[in-house]
Amino acid sequence: MNVLVTGGAGYIGSHTVVELLRSGHEVVVVDDLSNAKIEVIDRIKEITGKRLHFYWIDCADKEKLWDIFRNHSVDAVIHFAGFKAVGESVQKPLQYYRNNLDSTMTLLEVMEEFGCKKLVFSSSATVYGPNNPHPYKEDMPAIQSSSPYGWTKVMIERILTDYVTAHPDFCAILLRYFNPIGAHESGLLGDDPNGIPNNLMPFIGRVAAGKLEKLTIFGGDYDTPDGTCQRDYLHVVDLAVGHLKALEYAAKHEGVEAINLGTGNGISVLELVTAFEKVNNMKLPYVIGPRRDGDLPAFWADATKAKELLGWEATHTVEDMCRSSWNFAKNAST
């Protein structure tokens, strides 16, 4: 298939592009490089030995996106492009709503003009909000979030659902990710955010590299086995393979499907820190600090739908995630 990947130079996008190329798909990447580096494109080529088309554009730019659809016969789209920093979204809600919603609606309009009817969307477990019991199942209400970033995911899921109601021959797969960590085994691709990281694993990577002094674990008094929060961490390469499976499913189906991508297991912050120390043979300086606003004590996926519908299951261990994260972070530029 000819697959357009928006945000294909980003953390999850780049790993997905590698898996697409390896499976013989033709790939067109569009990315505005607002939170990604141009070198990623060369690194993808280096890893796969394959060529790809890259356009440095904002996918909310309709004319430019239209030109891309005119020049490439796009069979399907995987839509990653979007702002994703939870804290920043609280400070800059309009930017988040404008960017994330506009880019999606522009994309849908152009897809409609070119008769492209297959879309895989990068959603998040954040759509389950604070009120559902875990493990989260796809048929639970997914209509609430705790940040403007999360609300853009809720709203885009709604937009896509309404779009499919109006166009029943369209297929939209809403992939609800849990907590992707880890990096490509080559050490060439990984999570390398601009500035001080908000997410746990990039922060750990910079502490391990001596670029940050210590990790603060947000809260040690939660009602969990060791008092720290539990999350469903999954390897980014497993997540990338999940997109490939979702694309194959979309190619043969119509309608809208929300699907969790997680391992189905909860791991605590402290367990992750300990695993990182053990596999990488180092000590990580850390302190237990106060809770972070908006954090939920524990959640993980019910991962059965992905297995049944897509034949997808996470295969990497927590040790794989910690080893590959460090293999990338020790050479990362920031």
Q: Contact residues for ligand UD1 (CB under 6 A)? A: 84, 86, 124, 126, 146-147, 150, 179, 198-200, 203, 215-218, 229, 231, 269, 292, 294-295
* 187: region left, alpha or beta (phi > 0 left; psi from -120 to 50 alpha): left
| Kind plus residue range of the DSSP H or E element containing 166 | helix 148-166
Nearest C-alpha neighbor of 213 from the set 291, 276, 287: 287
Candidates 11, 128, 136, 149; catalytic one:
149
Between CA 262 and CA 271, with CA 265 as vertex, the angle to 5 degrees is 115
DSSP 268: E
Helix axis angle for 11-22 and 39-48, nearest 10°, is 30
Nearer to ligand UD1, 187 or 297 (CB): 297
Contact in structure between 80 and 8 (CB atoms under 8 Å): yes
Supply the minimum distance, in Å, between the C-beta of residue 15 and ligand UD1: 15
The reply to whether 149 belongs to the active site is yes
**Which residue number is nearest to ligand UD1 in terms of Cβ?**
229
Nearer to ligand UD1, 87 or 311 (CB): 87
* 275: region left, alpha or beta (phi > 0 left; psi from -120 to 50 alpha): alpha
Nearer to ligand UD1, 76 or 236 (CB): 236
Supply the minimum distance, in Å, between the C-beta of residue 295 and ligand UD1: 4
Supply the minimum distance, in Å, between the C-beta of residue 150 and ligand UD1: 5
CB neighbourhood size of 165 (10 A): 11
Supply the minimum distance, in Å, between the C-beta of residue 210 and ligand UD1: 16
Nearer to ligand UD1, 8 or 193 (CB): 193
Q: Which active-site residues does the annotation give?
A: 149
